[in-house]
């Protein structure tokens, strides 16, 4: 049931994104704008130790302060609530919003203070006395794997959350047969999407209706369910208000620990309670860090550069608790070979606990680091056989006529035309001119090179990595819903059942429904009911909403269109197949008789006597849609994951002053194919924003811990976000290979740009003098990262009396956590003979 | 402490403790929620307001310091309820935002630029918004919005203060700083 | 991130401000607040009283004296950036100001504030040290002053004592006609604190020989450093001389090693930037004509 792109009226046109209007006027409705009468405020006291036993907590001085209402400890909270859910089957890795018995990372939340204002709550946290007994700790993933490393969760027995090896195809045979092999290691540093708005939540308990009301800056599937479980209350006693605008999330605002904490307090105190993380709470203990991975990769190939087989080991440093993060090793399985026809793969996924902050779902859910490893492999193969990198890619790409294409791990890629996208990009760039420019830069004494990356963006979120990695999880349903009501005056109202963080969902659904019903999308109203009035939703994750919400809206609109046609056909005395719908009217082509919108509405709402037998009055339809290609459990370690696969191809020209080490992007071009584009503005924004995230991840952003287990980069002074100076102009070259699985041929694009950008920045050094492994934050080893200023520390120490538990720990002048750049390393971006 | 602040042309008075930032005062005392907190340490720019026409981080000012200035928040830009200024409309035209959180600060920085600079280059625009971090857009469509607004303002029949000069304080205000 | 509570006082005169500071060791000056307020927000600083000096008339204004330009401490960085006197007479200061923070921080941040903050990599202190400026201070015993070299004693550390306040900075004005400035800094992002910054000013005679030279580096040690390249006087600042002078001058340069960058990196990059700054200064000076220049 697809629509023909040639005849789109609204889809793919440059309609304004309607949500923008209220935001440019400053009338968004963000969580910090939610203020209930009598509301109290929370501040958090974190632990300063990477691991420590909590010996005692003395809140008496804090409680004596005016305006302070309560001090909550982990013991009390754990007695009243259930531990937060894990993704894997690791029941002895228990996570609570506040530490219980021991703290497991520096910055972990230990005590929550409730007061009349945030400022008073912060004052009071300074008066809570916690005594700790430091414990041994481990920060490094490879150390954590060793049997003698201190276990972060002693009850669990070791630091290993996951160690699972998959073998898809005849890997050993292919390796034995291949004339050539190579192996390498790459690392992906710990960074995250770090939205400008931190996570915040307001909860209010109504004891008379036994109802918990929640408002939050949230992007999380099954959020109400998890709140209910945590608080041990019926799920229909939780009402999440979804009309909260979310100030950016890109995956990370899962907020369940914050919500259980605040909900408990609301219930306990009988007053609404609000927690808005401040930036320190967010960076240190918001549990929103991203993957931190070491990849060891081997590939088997021939002299023509054809890669036959790959072995990949991915070791991820999950941090102190499990949560959902280990699944980020599972999702890339659905595109484990990237856009290439690699015939067999061995994949070992390892996730370990360490005494670092907890990871959350970051844009791409593990795909970006994996793409980085795959692209590095291809580049190395090209260097080994002496072929152009793009040529090796062309030879290994899946060809357009080979789709749908089944990859060794069990997913089928829906459609693609990678060769054409690459051709288009090169035509746009004038590659020869770019090479000349590179040579000119080199001649002027700079290091210069052209980086390329080709990768997939799986979209649709058929999240079958869950049952794949956890056999006890039998979830195969990933649904989304839409409800449309045409009221008695003929106006259309749509409900959507999730919060949005800038993806333009209102514009998406109205465009789709307007296309089907052939009415102006701007006349359609979108509302977001609260979770009790909602239909099932799985939230905007995994680039799924264009596919799923678009699909549900399409089908709901089709149902209404069919109903209107039936009503008209009944008036005309014809079969439904004899009438035609056009421009919101229904016509009998043979006689020319026509019923317009107003007349059809009137019949549906007020003339029951004119309705066909058995038809429900009114004009309302609902559609609950399952994800395309979903619904199967894994078998033999194979399963179909996401249904649709967008493709991106990045080309960047970069120069580095060898004396200074600072990279400069001269030109950035991305070819992007996400099938049919429902709203070009939105897709462009996703792509450019993703590239900026990727640039930050590769060149600027990192959560750095020192040797004492403290997070050094805990504010925006040290965790460097790209500004308009750092993000270059990006040229986008479009292509459209529709998906056969979706109503308009659309694929997802929410993670575009981010998945290919970081691989682009990694240098290919071919000289032996490369001294250290580049993290994905590649150039940052050359180009020293900025960190919390020891100078600020000195000034503070001179003038203040620091006995403040909230103080970030001093990093000390000499602690460099092993990241010292070696200034005399030689770098080249291209092997010198290109 | 009692404080009188001129915000969007109107004097607002409140009793505010010294440690309360202008940002928090705008939001909590005066219910102007369009100015947002992103970091509270002066880096992200989400809290940007105009003080005497120039962009300033309201998280780095205390309300008790803010008397005697002409403060403009995002709520002060729209010509009337339901209408948008040329710059606000330009951001809608090019989709120069997604989640909207950095947007008020971004628009105010752009507004200040276009008050002095009739034909800003791309570099001028980048420099003007360099203190406003956006995590959604990658800045491309924001820069387009400012260019679009600049073009529309050039052909509009609306006078602007003299080129190159910063926006001047209102005549009836005490001189707050050396000129 | 709310500050710990404090009282706020806005004295009407400088004398009153000094008296308040002298009488209360938990009192601190606030002017533009761009470096102080983040520290208050993170509770790294916890004064019990803030003395607001931003509107004191005695601290405002830019005036020319014989052989110097005196910049009032509360002069906004953005104002100084646009000031024609500074542009004409203290070109190094004009040159570095666009690199200080971001436009919004320059709208509030003050020249005196940057001096008092004494960040080792800050541009205004670097210009002050390189040019041999004088830091003028108000105290309860009357005004005093100190060479910038002596004023900065460590990272974020100055000789300011209790009861004292920076009142102005006196920048020397070179009498020569062909003056050029060079400045380079390297940082992670455009507006971040510099890892290394180098500032140079040269004056040339009509044949391109160096009549005067000043060179300084910031961000390398724990405070801005003036480097002695007086051996360049009389030369034409050719590449070889410049290189040798810089390498000699930076031989024993103290360099910090921390998470930002290693000492080795800082020293190496400092040399590179110093050479480039001198070359840029020479180029800019050469572009000026001998008669009636400036």
Q: B86-155: same fold as B2-76?
A: no
Pair type for strands A580-582 and A585-587: antiparallel
User: Is C54 touching B (CB cutoff 8 A)?
Assistant: yes
**Residues of chain C neighbouring A785 (CB-CB closer than 8 A):** 188, 259-260
Residues A521 and A549 in one domain: yes
Its pTM stands at 0.93
pLDDT mean across residues, chain C: 94
Asked if the structure places residue A493 within a domain, the reply is: yes
Residues A200 and A187 in one domain: no
Architecture of domain B86-155: Orthogonal Bundle (1.10)
A210 burial via Cβ count (<10 Å: 0-12, 13-18, 19+): exposed
Asked if the structure places residue C291 within a domain, the reply is: no
Mean pLDDT, consecutive 10-residue stretches, chain A (834 aa), reads 68 95 97 97 97 98 98 97 91 95 97 98 98 97 96 95 97 98 95 96 97 96 95 97 96 95 98 98 94 97 98 97 88 96 98 95 88 94 95 97 97 97 95 94 93 92 93 93 97 96 96 96 97 93 90 96 97 94 93 95 97 97 95 95 94 90 90 94 95 90 93 92 95 94 87 66 31 26 27 32 32 29 33 32
Closest chain C residue to A798 measured between Cα atoms?
A: C157
Q: From C123, C155, C172, give the residue that closes a domain.
A: C172
CA–CA distance, C9 with C51 (Å, rounded to integer): 5
Give the DSSP H/E element, type plus range, for residue A687. Answer: helix A680-695
- Domain hosting residue C237, numbered range: 179-286
Q: From A626, A659, A675, give the residue that closes a domain.
A: A626
- Express each pLDDT in C84-122 by its tens digit: 999 999 999 999 999 999 999 999 999 999 999 999 999
Residues A232 and A318 in one domain: no
Residues C156 and C218 in one domain: no
Banded model confidence at residue B161, pLDDT cuts 50, 70, 90: low
What does the pLDDT average to over B69-84?
A: 96
Asked if the structure places residue A805 within a domain, the reply is: no
Q: From A765, A782, A799, give the residue that closes a domain.
A: A782
User: Is C190 touching A (CB cutoff 8 A)?
Assistant: yes
Distance from CA of A794 to the nearest CA of C (A): 7
- Domain hosting residue A84, numbered range: 34-135+196-248+254-285
Test A245 with B126 for CB contact under 8 angstroms. Answer: no
E runs forming strands in A27-108: 40-46, 52-58, 68-73, 102-103
A268 burial via Cβ count (<10 Å: 0-12, 13-18, 19+): middle
Residues C278 and C183 in one domain: yes
The subunits that touch chain A, with at least 3 C-beta pairs less than 8 Å apart, are B, C
The Cα angle at residue A533 between residues A532 and A535, in degrees rounded to 5:
95
Distance from CA of B64 to the nearest CA of A (A): 16
CA–CA distance, C1 with A75 (Å, rounded to integer): 26
Q: Between A and C, how many residue pairs show a Cβ–Cβ distance under 8 A?
A: 137
Asked if the structure places residue A233 within a domain, the reply is: yes
The neighbour count for residue A612, using CB atoms within 10 Å, is: 12
- Express each pLDDT in C9-26 by its tens digit: 999 999 999 999 999 999
Mutate to test the interface with B, among A21, A26, A672 (most CBs of B within 10 A): A26
Asked if the structure places residue A766 within a domain, the reply is: yes
Mutate to test the interface with B, among A13, A19, A20, A31 (most CBs of B within 10 A): A20
Residues C162 and C69 in one domain: yes
Q: Which residues pair with A448 in a beta bridge?
A: A655
Domain extents for chain B? 2-76, 86-155
Any idea what the CATH number is for the domain that residue C232 is in? 3.30.390.50
Residues C63 and C125 in one domain: yes
Asked if the structure places residue C293 within a domain, the reply is: no
Residues 6+ apart with CB under 8 A from B113: B120, B124, B125, B128, B129, B146
Residues A233 and A322 in one domain: no
Q: From C149, C172, C195, give the residue that closes a domain.
A: C172
User: Is B147 touching A (CB cutoff 8 A)?
Assistant: no
Q: C118 phi and psi, to 5 degrees? A: 60, 40
B2-76 maps to CATH 3.40.50.300? no
What does the pLDDT average to over B134-156?
A: 97
Banded model confidence at residue C294, pLDDT cuts 50, 70, 90: very low
Any idea what the CATH number is for the domain that residue A121 is in? 3.90.1170.50
Measured CA distances, A553 to A20, A54, A516, A623 (Å) = 21, 52, 9, 7
Any idea what the CATH number is for the domain that residue A354 is in? 3.30.365.10
What does the pLDDT average to over B142-154?
A: 97
Q: From A579, A596, A626, give the residue that closes a domain.
A: A626
Residues A177 and A312 in one domain: yes
User: Is C43 touching A (CB cutoff 8 A)?
Assistant: yes
CA–CA distance, A351 with A315 (Å, rounded to integer): 6
Asked if the structure places residue A824 within a domain, the reply is: no
**Residues of chain B neighbouring C52 (CB-CB closer than 8 A):** 65
Concatenate the DSSP letters of all residues of A727-740 into one string. SPPEEEEEE----T
Asked if the structure places residue A821 within a domain, the reply is: no
Chain A from 257 to 296: CB within 8 A of any C CB: 278-280
Specify whether the CB–CB gap between A388 and A382 falls below 8 A.
Answer: yes
Among B84, B86, B126, B89, residue whose Cα is nearest residue B109: B126
User: Is C99 touching A (CB cutoff 8 A)?
Assistant: no
Residues C142 and C188 in one domain: no
Closest chain B residue to C71 measured between Cα atoms?
A: B178
Chain B from 99 to 128: CB within 8 A of any C CB: 109, 127-128
Report how many domains make up chain C: 3
Check residue A7 and report its DSSP letter: G
Residues A526 and A622 in one domain: yes
Specify whether the CB–CB gap between A703 and A289 falls below 8 A.
Answer: yes
Residues C140 and C65 in one domain: yes
Residues A375 and A452 in one domain: yes
Give the DSSP H/E element, type plus range, for residue A380. Answer: helix A367-385
pLDDT score, position A810 = 32
Half-sphere exposure of A695 toward its Cβ, with a 13 Å CA cutoff? 31
Closest chain C residue to A825 measured between Cα atoms?
A: C265
Mutate to test the interface with B, among C9, C99, C104 (most CBs of B within 10 A): C104
ipTM above 0.90, yes or no: yes
User: Is A34 touching B (CB cutoff 8 A)?
Assistant: no
Residues A367 and A432 in one domain: yes
Test A787 with C259 for CB contact under 8 angstroms. Answer: yes
The neighbour count for residue A816, using CB atoms within 10 Å, is: 23
pLDDT score, position A589 = 93
What does the pLDDT average to over C128-147?
A: 96
Q: From C116, C142, C172, give the residue that closes a domain.
A: C172
Closest chain C residue to A793 measured between Cα atoms?
A: C44
User: Is B112 touching A (CB cutoff 8 A)?
Assistant: no
Judge if the upstream peptide bond of residue A211 is cis by omega within 30 degrees of 0.
Answer: no
Any idea what the CATH number is for the domain that residue C13 is in? 3.30.43.10
The Cα angle at residue A97 between residues A94 and A103, in degrees rounded to 5:
70
Asked if the structure places residue A145 within a domain, the reply is: no
Residues A304 and A443 in one domain: yes
pLDDT score, position A760 = 57
Asked if the structure places residue A461 within a domain, the reply is: yes
- Express each pLDDT in C253-263 by its tens digit: 889 887 667 88
Residues C123 and C107 in one domain: yes
Report how many domains make up chain A: 3
Residues A406 and A488 in one domain: no
Specify whether the CB–CB gap between B92 and B78 falls below 8 A.
Answer: no
Any idea what the CATH number is for the domain that residue C85 is in? 3.30.465.10
pLDDT score, position A6 = 67
Residues A203 and A331 in one domain: no
What would the two tokens of residue C21 be? Answer: 């500071």
Asked if the structure places residue C1 within a domain, the reply is: no
Residues A200 and A320 in one domain: no
């Amino acid at each position: 049931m697809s629509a023909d792109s040639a005849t789109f009226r609204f889809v793919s046109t440059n309609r304004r994104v309607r949500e923008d209007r209220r935001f440019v006027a400053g009338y968004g409705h963000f969580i910090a704008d939610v203020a209930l009468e009598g509301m109290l405020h929370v501040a958090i006291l974190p632990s300063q130790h990477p691991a420590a036993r909590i010996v005692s907590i003395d809140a008496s001085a804090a409680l004596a302060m005016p305006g302070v209402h309560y001090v909550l400890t982990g013991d009390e909270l754990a007695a009243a609530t259930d531990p937060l859910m894990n993704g894997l089957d690791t029941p002895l890795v228990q996570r609570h919003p506040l530490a219980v018995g021991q703290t497991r990372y520096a910055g972990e939340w230990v005590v929550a203070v409730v007061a009349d204002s945030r400022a008073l709550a912060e004052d009071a946290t300074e008066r809570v006395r916690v005594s700790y007994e430091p414990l041994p700790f481990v920060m490094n993933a490879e150390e954590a794997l060793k049997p003698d490393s201190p276990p972060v969760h002693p009850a669990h027995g070791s630091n290993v959350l996951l160690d699972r090896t998959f073998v898809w195809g005849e890997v050993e045979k292919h390796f034995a047969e291949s004339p050539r092999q190579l192996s390498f290691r790459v690392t992906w540093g710990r960074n995250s999407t770090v939205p400008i708005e931190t996570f915040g939540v307001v909860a209010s308990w109504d004891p008379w209706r036994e109802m918990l009301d929640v408002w939050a800056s949230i992007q999380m599937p099954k959020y109400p369910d998890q709140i209910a479980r945590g608080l041990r209350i019926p799920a229909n006693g939780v009402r999440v208000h979804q009309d909260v605008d979310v100030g950016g999330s890109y995956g990370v605002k899962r907020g369940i620990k914050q919500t259980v904490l605040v909900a408990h307090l609301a219930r306990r105190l009988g007053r609404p309670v609000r927690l808005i993380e401040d930036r320190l709470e967010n960076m240190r203990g918001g549990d929103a860090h991203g993957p931190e991975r070491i990849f060891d990769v081997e590939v088997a190939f021939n002299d023509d550069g054809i890669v036959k087989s790959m072995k990949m080991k991915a070791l991820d440093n999950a941090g102190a608790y499990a949560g959902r993060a280990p699944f980020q090793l599972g999702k890339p399985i659905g595109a484990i070979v990237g856009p290439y026809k690699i015939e067999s793969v061995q994949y070992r996924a390892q996730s370990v606990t360490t005494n670092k902050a907890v990871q959350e779902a970051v844009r791409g859910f593990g795909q970006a680091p994996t793409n980085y490893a795959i692209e590095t492999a291809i580049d190395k193969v090209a260097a080994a056989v002496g072929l152009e990198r793009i040529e090796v890619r062309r030879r290994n790409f899946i060809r357009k006529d080979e789709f749908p294409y089944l990859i060794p791990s069990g997913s089928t890629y829906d459609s693609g035309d990678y060769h054409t996208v690459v051709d288009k990009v090169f035509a746009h760039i004038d590659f020869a001119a770019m090479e000349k420019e590179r040579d000119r830069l080199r001649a002027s004494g700079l290091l210069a090179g052209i980086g390329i990356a080709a990768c997939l963006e799986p979209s649709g979120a058929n999240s079958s990595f869950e049952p794949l990695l956890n056999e006890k999880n039998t979830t195969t349903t990933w649904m989304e819903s839409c409800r449309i009501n045409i009221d008695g005056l003929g106006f259309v109202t749509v409900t959507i059942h999730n919060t949005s963080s800038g993806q333009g969902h209102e514009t998406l659904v109205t465009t789709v429904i307007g296309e089907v019903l052939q009415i102006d999308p701007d006349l359609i109203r979108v509302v977001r009911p609260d979770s009790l009035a909602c239909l099932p939703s799985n939230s905007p994750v995994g680039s799924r909403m264009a596919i799923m919400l678009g699909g549900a809206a399409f089908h709901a609109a089709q149902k209404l269109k069919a109903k209107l046609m039936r009503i008209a056909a009944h008036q005309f005395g014809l079969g439904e197949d004899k009438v035609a719908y056009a421009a919101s009217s229904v016509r009998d082509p043979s006689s020319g008789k026509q019923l317009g919108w107003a007349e059809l509405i009137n019949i549906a709402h007020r003339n029951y006597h004119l309705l066909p037998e058995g038809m429900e009055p009114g004009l309302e339809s609902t559609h609950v849609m399952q994800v395309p290609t979903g619904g199967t459990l894994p078998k033999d370690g194979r399963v179909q994951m996401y249904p649709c696969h967008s493709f991106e191809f990045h080309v960047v020209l970069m120069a580095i002053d060898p004396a200074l080490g600072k990279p400069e992007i001269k030109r950035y071009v991305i070819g992007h194919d996400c099938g049919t584009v429902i709203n070009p503005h939105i897709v462009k924004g996703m792509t450019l924003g993703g590239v900026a995230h990727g640039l930050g991840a590769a060149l600027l952003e990192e959560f750095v811990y020192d040797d004492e287990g403290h997070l050094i980069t805990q504010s925006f002074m040290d965790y460097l976000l790209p500004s308009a100076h750092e993000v270059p102009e990006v040229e986008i070259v479009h292509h459209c290979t529709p998906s056969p699985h979706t109503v308009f041929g659309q694929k997802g694009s929410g993670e575009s740009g981010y998945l290919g950008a970081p691989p682009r920045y990694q240098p290919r050094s071919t000289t032996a003098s490369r001294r250290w492994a580049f993290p994905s934050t590649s150039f940052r080893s050359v180009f020293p990262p900025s960190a919390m200023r020891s100078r600020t520390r000195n000034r503070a120490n001179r003038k203040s009396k620091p006995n403040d538990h909230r103080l970030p720990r001093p990093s000390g002048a000499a602690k460099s956590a092993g990241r010292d750049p070696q200034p005399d390393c030689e770098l080249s971006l291209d092997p010198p003979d290109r | 402490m009692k404080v009188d602040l001129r915000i969007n042309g109107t004097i607002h008075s409140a009793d505010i403790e010294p440690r309360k930032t202008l940002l928090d005062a705008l939001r909590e005392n005066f219910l102007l929620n369009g100015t947002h907190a992103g970091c509270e340490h002066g880096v992200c720019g989400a809290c940007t307001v105009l003080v005497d026409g120039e962009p300033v981080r309201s998280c780095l000012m205390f309300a008790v310091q803010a008397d005697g200035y002409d403060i403009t928040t995002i709520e002060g830009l729209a010509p009337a309820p339901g209408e948008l200024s040329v710059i606000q409309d330009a951001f809608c035209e090019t989709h120069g935002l997604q989640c909207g959180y950095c947007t008020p600060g971004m628009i105010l920085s752009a507004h200040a630029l276009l008050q002095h600079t009739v034909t800003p280059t791309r570099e001028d625009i980048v420099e003007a918004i360099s203190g406003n971090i956006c995590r959604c857009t990658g800045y491309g469509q924001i820069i387009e919005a400012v260019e679009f607004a600049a073009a529309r303002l050039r052909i509009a029949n609306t006078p602007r203060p003299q080129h190159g000069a910063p926006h001047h304080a209102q005549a009836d205000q005490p001189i707050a700083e050396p000129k | 991130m709310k500050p710990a509570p404090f009282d706020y006082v806005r004295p009407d005169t400088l004398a009153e401000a000094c008296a308040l500071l002298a009488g209360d060791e938990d009192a601190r000056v606030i002017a533009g607040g761009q470096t102080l307020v983040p520290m208050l927000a993170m509770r790294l600083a916890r004064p019990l009283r803030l003395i607001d000096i931003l509107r004191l008339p005695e601290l405002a204004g830019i005036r020319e004296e014989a052989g110097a330009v005196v910049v009032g401490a509360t002069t906004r960085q953005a104002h100084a950036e646009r000031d024609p006197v500074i542009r004409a007479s203290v070109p190094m200061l004009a040159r570095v100001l666009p690199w200080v923070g971001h436009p919004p921080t320059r709208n509030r941040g003050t020249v005196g504030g940057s001096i008092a903050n004494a960040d080792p990599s800050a541009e205004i202190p670097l210009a002050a040290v390189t040019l041999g400026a004088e830091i003028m201070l108000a105290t309860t015993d009357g005004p005093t002053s100190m060479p910038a070299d002596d004023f900065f004693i460590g990272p974020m550390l100055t000789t300011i004592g209790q009861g004292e306040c920076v009142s102005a900075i006196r920048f020397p004005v070179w009498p020569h006609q062909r003056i050029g400035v060079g400045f380079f800094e390297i940082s992670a992002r455009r507006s971040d604190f510099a890892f290394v910054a180098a500032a140079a000013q040269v004056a040339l005679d009509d044949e391109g020989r160096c009549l005067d030279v000043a060179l300084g580096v910031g961000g390398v040690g724990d405070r801005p450093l003036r480097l002695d390249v007086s051996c360049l006087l009389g030369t034409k600042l050719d590449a070889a001389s410049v290189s040798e002078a810089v390498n000699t001058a930076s031989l024993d340069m103290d360099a910090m090693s921390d998470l930002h960058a290693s000492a080795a990196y800082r020293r190496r990059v400092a040399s590179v930037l110093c050479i480039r700054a001198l070359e840029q200064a020479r180029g800019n000076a050469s572009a000026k004509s001998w008669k009636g220049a400036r």
